[in-house]
């Protein structure tokens, strides 16, 4: 460290940055330990995202929301947290309690990467690599209000209700569930998916996360 070129407040800032481990942030690694999709009923207004620092250095973690699911009410959540070495922290988020309609948000979580450490030289292309996690938060009912329409290429599934549908789609083998799974995911109100179905399948078997099944034989 070149202390001679740093004076006054600069020296203090440098001291604290070293003390707090900022120099290690570029190597910070974190994990999410309670899943990348969280469902809540409209009776629940809070949840947590469990984040673990995988390194032996204190690390800053950035949290931000995105609107990939369309315009929705944001959840209230911290924008950054500090994690001690190997600490696991449950970061709480809160929904707007008076909301009764289905809500969904995507929250991105990433370790802080100090851009000041990046260098570039004329004539070079430098790719700066970072990682993050997307945690999808849902609040509302899970129900079946699906419109299933068979097409020459597969099946078109439309969630025409005001609730979520969450689960997996399997082929039907006779009158039972076949394998392998064709697709899985969440259909938000209004969502449409087109899934290809094997020619030898006898239909599709839509199984919700709570075990409820809707089957549609091929016409």
Partner 1 sequence: MRTLLLASSVLAAFSASAQNSDFVDAMFYIDESAMIRAVDAQGNNLTDLTFHIVSPNIPGQAYLTVPNQTMYLQYTSVKTAAPDDSRTISVDVIGGNFPQGVTASLAANPSGTGATGDGNEIQLSQYITSGTLVEGIGSAYSGTGAGKGIPVIFSIDFATENLDASTAGMVSLQFTVSNS
Given a contact cutoff of 8 angstroms between Cβ atoms, the answer to whether 185 and 173 are in contact is no
State how far the alpha carbon of 200 is from the alpha carbons of 154, 175, 178, in Å.
12, 13, 11
Does residue number 186 form part of the binding site for partner 1 (CB under 8 A)? yes
Site for partner 1 in 90-129 (CB under 8 A): 106, 108, 110, 113, 117-118, 120-129
Burial of 196 (0-12, 13-18, 19+ CB in 10 A): exposed
State how far the alpha carbon of 54 is from the alpha carbons of 61, 86, 113, 208, in Å.
12, 5, 15, 34
Binding residue for partner 1 (CB under 8 A) from 18, 29, 41, 151? 29
46 to 75: interface string for partner 1, x by CB under 8 A: --------x---------------------
Q: Least distance (Å) from partner 1 to the CB of residue 7?
A: 30
The interface region with partner 1, picked from 57-65, 93-101, 166-174, 197-205 by CB under 8 A, is: 166-174
Token output for 15 = 């001291």
Does residue number 192 form part of the binding site for partner 1 (CB under 8 A)? no
Does residue number 194 form part of the binding site for partner 1 (CB under 8 A)? no
């Amino acid at each position: 460290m070149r202390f001679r070129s740093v004076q006054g407040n600069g020296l203090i800032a440098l001291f604290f940055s070293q003390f707090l481990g900022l120099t290690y942030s570029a190597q910070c690694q974190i994990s999410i330990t309670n899943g990348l999709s969280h469902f809540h009923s409209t009776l629940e207004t809070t949840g947590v995202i469990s984040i673990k620092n995988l390194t032996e250095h204190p690390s800053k973690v950035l949290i931000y929301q995105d609107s990939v699911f369309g315009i929705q009410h944001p959840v209230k959540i911290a924008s950054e947290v500090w994690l001690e070495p190997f600490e696991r922290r449950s970061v709480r988020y809160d929904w707007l309690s008076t909301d009764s309609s289905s809500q969904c948000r995507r929250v991105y979580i990433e370790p802080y990467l100090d851009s000041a450490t990046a260098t570039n030289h004329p004539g070079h292309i430098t790719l700066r690599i970072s990682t993050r996690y997307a945690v999808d938060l849902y609040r509302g009912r899970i129900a079946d209000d699906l419109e299933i329409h068979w097409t020459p290429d597969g099946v078109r599934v439309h969630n025409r209700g005001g609730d979520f549908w969450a689960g997996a789609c399997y082929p039907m083998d006779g009158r039972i569930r076949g394998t392998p799974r064709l697709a899985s995911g969440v259909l938000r109100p209004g969502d449409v998916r087109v899934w290809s179905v094997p020619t030898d399948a006898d239909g599709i078997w839509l199984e919700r996360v709570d075990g409820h099944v809707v089957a549609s034989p091929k016409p």
